[in-house]
Copies of this chain bind each other. A is one copy, B any other.
Amino acid sequence: MNTARIGKLIGVSLGPGDPGLITRRAWEVMHSDAHMTYPVRSRSSDSYALGIVQRAGVNLPEDSSPLFFPMTHDPEKLGAYWMEAAQTVLSVLQTGRDVAFLVEGDASTYSTFGHLARTLGALDATIAIEVIPGVPSFHAAAARLGEPLADVDDMVAIVPAGYGIAMLERLLDDFDTLILLKVKPLLNDIIDLLERRNLLAHSCFIEKSGAPEERIVRDVASLRNEKVNYLSLLIVKNPERQRGEIARGCRKVVRVEEL
């Protein structure tokens, strides 16, 4: 029986871009003697996560290493890259050292960390994995806007906009807040929808929330025909939503409008 210590994988959420939004636990791991890794899209591109670390004034140890997560939807290529990343991590864990994988946003939410953890688990299900949650970009965006993302009894949907306008229109009937991700390919159609539903005044666009290049656009219609960044999102509030009854505690009450 092999009783040598095997390291654990730590998914370290760095938050959306502002180094002030790194948690104390993430900060602690960033300064531990774990082997530091971070995602990059290609050998020639910068790592968004590493940029947050650098803006925080932290110099990672020299042996820190990128793991490659390319921008492709080809499942075979993706699988090969995930396997390579997992094997790189596994080889360090087998020396007894922990591996920290530093990711932007929250490691459980649309994150490359999920692919790494799943692939590593398939290689060796006994490996311990710790996930340090972080501030998701849309919660940081709401804070920057000074608008609640969810008020009492609100329903919130987080939606990759690519599912299409008919889907978005349907969701507006049920939800108080829509968080639309990856709006780039459908932005003009979304603007048309918001105009038709009288929701332009209740919508806001944010790109790279919390990063130095952060951009907030409250006049969403002005973005028509613009090519926006991949890391952009729209928050749409729907104050006209019709609510039904809601069960609270042990009794049913009809919702009353508050203040």
Interface residue ranges, A against B (CB under 8 Å): 11, 13, 15, 18-25, 27-28, 73, 75, 78-79, 82, 106-111, 114-115, 117-119, 129, 131-136, 139-140, 142-144, 146-164, 167, 170-171, 174-175, 182, 184-186, 243-251, 253, 255-259
Contacts and interface: CB of A to CB of B under 8 A. Distances in A.
Nearest to A19: B24
Given A148-B111, A250-B185, A119 B24 contact: no
Contacts of A132: 20-21, 143
Given A75-B256, A157-B155, A185 B249 contact: yes
A224 to B, nearest CB: 16
10 contacts: A11-B143, A20-B25, A23-B23, A107-B143, A131-B142, A131-B146, A154-B160, A155-B158, A162-B248, A164-B244
Nearest to A148: B114
B160 A155 contact: yes
Given A20-B25, A131-B146, A151-B114, A244 B108 contact: no
B20 A28 contact: yes
A106 B139 contact: yes
A27 B159 CA distance: 32
Contact of A162 (B23, B148, B247): B247
Contact of A246 (B163, B244, B251): B163
Given A20-B24, A27-B24, A257 B75 contact: yes
Given A20-B24, A23-B15, A158-B156, A143 B256 contact: no
A167 B174 contact: yes
A153 B161 CA distance: 9
Given A108-B147, A156-B158, 15 more contacts: A20-B132, A82-B259, A108-B149, A109-B139, A109-B149, A110-B150, A110-B151, A117-B146, A131-B143, A133-B139, A133-B140, A154-B160, A163-B246, A170-B174, A182-B248
A259 B118 contact: yes
Contact of A247 (B144, B150, B186): B186
Which of A20, A23, A79 counts the most chain B CB atoms within 10 A? A23
Contact of A108 (B106, B115, B139, B255): B139
Contacts of A162: 153, 246-248
A129 B146 contact: yes
Contacts of A174: 167, 170-171
Contact of A139 (B73, B117, B134, B163): B134
